[in-house]
Amino acid sequence: DQQVKQNSPSLSVQEGRISILNCDYTNSMFDYFLWYKKYPAEGPTFLISISSIKDKNEDGRFTVFLNKSAKHLSLHIVPSQPGDSAVYFCAASVRGSNYKLTFGKGTLLTVNP
Q: Which helix (H) or strand (E) holds 12?
A: strand 10-14
> Nearer Cβ to other proteins, position 2 or 112?
2
Quick check: 96 binds other proteins (CB under 8 A)?
A: yes
Cβ of residue 36: shortest distance to other proteins, in angstroms? Answer: 8
d(CA 81, CA 28): 34
Q: For residue 54, state whether it binds other proteins (rule: CB under 8 A).
A: no
Phi, psi of 84 (to 5 degrees): -80, -10
From the list 76, 97, 108, 110, which residue makes contact with other proteins (rule: CB under 8 A)? 97
Say whether residue 113 binds other proteins (CB under 8 A).
Answer: no
Closest CA to 47 of 65, 39, 55, 59: 59
Q: Count Cα atoms within 13 angstroms, Cβ side, for 22.
A: 9
Residues in touch with other proteins (CB under 8 A): 6, 32, 34, 36, 41-46, 49, 51, 89, 91-101, 103-106
